[in-house]
Amino acid sequence: MRSKESGLLLSHLIIIVVLAAAILTGNSVLQESIPNNFLRYVLLVVLSTVAYYFLAPSVIEPFLQTDAKLKEMIDHTLHELNTPIATIEANLSLLKRSLTDEKSLKRLKRIEDAAKNLTKLYESIEYDIKENIEHIEKSTFPLQNVLHESIAKAAEIKGDIEIRDETENLMLHTDKNGFERTVDNLLSNAIKYNKPDGFVRFYTKEGKLFVQDSGIGIDPKNLFIVYEKSFQENPTTVGFGLGLSIVKNFCDREKIAIKIDTQKGEGTTISLDLQNILYK
């Protein structure tokens, strides 16, 4: 989308520069026939405005056609990807009813988990594509619904980490998928960089959401680069280092102020100021 916007802007600038040059040239040519400066400039501006009115659509239309074709192709591709996933899930449900022996059920469980991961990947790809073509829909939903879903998804990876939800049930109006990804990444990081028998605590105060953990903390020197893609406090940790980059992109887009308070070896608290997305 940035390339499309840059192309449109450049095309309009070219038209404006050409028309400005035409005005200057016309001014010199018409000085003798129209000696009144005011009338001459009014005439040139009117003619330039009319010229711009007829030229601009021919510049914009190719970009709009390209964008429409791109959206149609993406929608078609996403639909085609969703069909086999739905087929796999439907057949898994039927097999679960007919199988009884433990060995087969374990194998089916592995297939089911793989299908869930595939679904999650599909949803992530769909979101990324829609985000880049500016097709994000906003909705109204309770904060606690998202937190409870995120905590449930983290059940298999949290180990002995205690997760506490001490939030008010605030109503939010924003891109729900983007907010879910933000919470998932914050929780995942809080678990990944925690200590044995540690905790993660969600709480709210004055329209802010806080995610506090009892983890290893972040080295203060890294706070300047913590949002960069591929940054990882511990390079040996499994992952791609995209979590906080994804969080920051969403927060910047939705005008959510994000703050990190951390102490090496003591833990980290990340706050999100939700004032701009509170449903009032």
Task: Look at residue 12 and tell me whether its pLDDT is greater than 60.
Answer: no
Strand pairing category for 162-166 and 199-205? parallel
Residue 239: pLDDT band with limits 50, 70, 90:
very low
Least confident segment among 142-156, 202-216, 239-253: 239-253
Quote the pLDDT of residue 240. Answer: 34
Distance CA 177, CA 247 (A): 12
- Give the residue with greater pLDDT, 190 vs 120: 190
User: Please, where are the H alpha helices in 133-241?
Assistant: 143-153, 176-192
Sequence-separated contacts (24+) of 43-51 with Cβ below 8 Å: 48/19, 48/22, 48/23, 51/19, 51/22
pTM given for the model: 0.57
Quote the pLDDT of residue 200. Answer: 96
Task: Look at residue 166 and tell me whether its pLDDT is greater than 90.
Answer: yes
Distance CA 132, CA 177 (A): 14
Task: Look at residue 39 and tell me whether its pLDDT is greater than 90.
Answer: no
- Give the residue with greater pLDDT, 202 vs 105: 202
* pLDDT tens figures, 172-182: 999 998 899 89
Quote the pLDDT of residue 142. Answer: 96
What is the rounded average pLDDT of the residues 42-55? Answer: 68
Task: Look at residue 155 and tell me whether its pLDDT is greater than 90.
Answer: no
Least confident segment among 105-109, 127-131, 138-142: 127-131
CA atoms within 13 A on the CB side of 138: 11
In the DSSP assignment, the letter for residue 218 is -
What is the rounded average pLDDT of the residues 163-176? Answer: 94
Residue 213: pLDDT band with limits 50, 70, 90:
very high
